[in-house]
Amino acid sequence: MANITLIKAVNEGLRTAMQKDPTVLCFGEDVGPKGGVFLATENLTSEFGESRCFDTPLSEDGIVGSAIGMAMNGLRPVAEIQFQDFIYPAFDQIVSEAAKMRYRSGGQYTVPMVIRTPYGGGIRGGLYHSQSGEAYFCHTPGLKVVIPSTPHDAKGLLIASIQDPDPVLFMEPKALYRSIKGEVPEGEYTVDLSTLRSVKEGEDVTVFCYGAMVPIVEKAAKVAAEKNIDVNIVDLRTLLPLDEEGVLEHAKRTGRVVIVHEAPRFCGYGSEVSAMIAENVIEYMEAPIKRVTGFDTPFPNTLEHHYMPDDRRVLDAIEEVYAY
């Protein structure tokens, strides 16, 4: 197995899917010969030709709308939105058209498409290149929302998303693109959607997280271990549909829960996880559920390091619920 970065794993996932299935194609702004702003599609145009990996005009609604039409007519498009912050002109296409097509057609049509987009902070991208909008889309039945946190999962989840019969929003934590490496098998493999990843088993406090927050939580857990607090880390990775049974089992395991994400706190994804636990297994809880999140403000450029959860804030939450 190769030891590669997360962005390289995305590239390998696309290449593997395109080699196996000639109906898979990639497109978006600068996706073609340049390979995208992060080089996720590097060399795919030269390998597969401009009919299968190509540039589009700067029009997010046009990119997604075209993908919907392609998907309904026998292709498996992988559309890239250059930054998740730019996805909102295509919001109606995603939530009103792609996500609803199977239902409104009584199953006559499906929309097997993937929308890839880098999200989140950590690269000093400022206000319009750092947002985490996953909660908007997790409110949409008919859509799947996937966020990998390791190179292995990035490739396996991406291939599974491309093969899925329904539309998938594949959100890539750009802070991890080149900051982590991991072992990734060659060739085709998939990671099942709607499954959790047990990052670290522990008996004292369960921390649910995803994306770029996973290594932050791992760092906090190491310090907690020095204080004799055994942290159970769970990577949610598929936010919609969520493995609800798995979440509840992990919550019951320790009776103490912390939820971490970098999106704003109010109506953030952690709110749903917290409510799910409270509604179903409250009798197992030994402490109030704690959330560690971004703040309810626009994403600040110069104060990025204060806005994004860090290992210190996560450790404080772990200690608080442990000592309750």
Q: What is the CB neighbour count within 10 angstroms for residue 106?
A: 7
Q: In what order do the strands lie in the sheet containing 231-235? A: 197-200, 231-235, 205-209, 257-264, 290-294
The three-class DSSP label of residue 57 is: coil
Give me the count of residues in the chain: 324
8 Å CB contact between 206 and 113: no
List Cβ neighbours of 277 (8 Å cut-off, separation of 6 or more): 247, 248, 251, 257, 285, 289
Measured at the alpha carbon of residue 20, what is the angle toward residues 14 and 21, in degrees to the nearest 5? 85
Question: Does the active-site annotation cover 250?
Answer: no
User: Which one of 129, 152, 250, 261 is the catalytic residue?
Assistant: 129
E strand map for 134-256: 144-146, 168-173, 181-184, 197-200, 205-209, 231-235, 238-240
CA distance 291 to 314: 9
The encoded tokens of residue 24 equal 């898979």
Active site amino acids: 129
